[in-house]
Amino acid sequence: MTTKFIIANWKMHGVQSDWLNWAENAVKTAKGLSGIQVVLSAPALGLSAVVDAVAGSDTVFAGAQNIHEDFEGAHTGCTTAEMGKEAGAVYTLVGHSERRDEFSEKGAQINAKVKAAHRAGLLPVLCFGEMGTERAAGDHLKTIERQLTNGLNGLTEMDVSGGKLLLAYEPVWAISTSAGSLGRQPELAELEEVYTYIRAFVVNKFGESIGSAMPLLYGGSVKSTSVIEALSVKNITGVLVGGASLDNTEFSALITNASKA
């Protein structure tokens, strides 16, 4: 059975007591459930608390939301992949649309961050997805192709095999807090089109056995009520969850439903 990933992205929410509480809730909920892996992407200052709370769980892991691409340097306010790894993170998000938009992260830098994650022994979750205007113009596959080509530039089969890279498609227009929302969620046929494309892209780049096993996640307003449908789409093997990960009751229901999907 393919492991289903449920990656929470807490963004810039919570304080120490919330991070602990959310992490303890996730551990309690995931205990005894099979076929899932839960990742809690905490703010950098919350990583240690999460690492402590998930210690001993074989289902729930800590992740970073962002890393700098350099090993060290004069970059005030930034954290390296190595710092995340030392703090106990296992995963890191890379290239989230809010990083691309608010911090002007572009393809080459995002690609360097993926490589920095690998350098430090973190598992990168490369996020990508078109904006509402690109979807409306019918350019979504072009955007996805560009973001994947740039983001995966120079990566070898060895770099990404065995779960060492996860991809998360998040159409910006479907993210719950997006200013460019199209006011609707993707239809199943739209998701099928995109995931067929992504799967073919990675099979073409990394070969059949590695490409067909690469985890492909969906993100964009996933809730406990929609997670089963999202995971029923061919080639979607996980979800990246923002808003719904900030409420214990809702996130527990989402985890439980995902484990049944």
Nearer of residues 220 and 238 to ligand PGA, judged by Cβ: 220
Angle at 65 between CA 14 and CA 19, to 5 degrees: 25
Find all residues with CB under 8 Å of 30, minimum gap 6, and list them. Answer: 36, 38, 57, 59, 60, 255, 259
Distance CA 124, CA 69 (A): 12
How far is it, in rounded angstroms, from Cα 141 to Cα 149? 12
40 vs 210 by CB, closer to ligand PGA: 40
Q: Given the complex with ligand PGA, which of 198 and 244 has the nearer CB atom?
A: 244
Are 148 and 169 in contact by the 8 Å Cβ rule? The answer is no
**220 counts as binding ligand PGA under rule CB under 6 A:** yes
Helix (H), strand (E) counts: the chain: 12, 8
Q: 68, 69, 96, 134: which one is catalytic?
A: 96
**Taking the complex as a whole, how short is the minimal distance between the CB of residue 55 and ligand PGA, in angstroms?**
25
CA dihedral 14, 58, 35, 220 (to 10 degrees): 20
Footprint on residues 229-258 left by ligand PGA (CB under 6 A):
240-244
**Which residues, 6 or more positions from 41, have their beta carbon under 8 angstroms from its beta carbon?**
7, 8, 9, 10, 63, 64, 65, 91, 92, 93
Q: Which is nearer to ligand PGA, 124 or 219 (CB)?
A: 219
Binding mask 7-26 for ligand PGA (x = CB under 6 A): --x-----------------
Answer yes or no whether residue 46 interacts with ligand PGA by CB under 6 A: no
How many CB atoms neighbour CB 200 within 10 A? 12
| Residue of minimal Cβ distance to ligand PGA | 242
Is 170 labeled as catalytic in the residue annotation?
A: yes
Catalytic residue check, 140:
no
From 17-25, 60-68, 195-203, 220-228, give the range in contact with ligand PGA by CB under 6 A.
220-228
Nearest-angstrom CA–CA distance, 155 and 198: 16
Site string for ligand PGA, 113-152 (x = CB under 6 A): ----------------------------------------
- Binding status of residue 216 toward ligand PGA by CB under 6 A: no
Rule CB under 6 A: which residues touch ligand PGA? 9, 170, 175-177, 219-222, 240-244
Q: Among all residues, which ones are annotated catalytic?
A: 96, 170
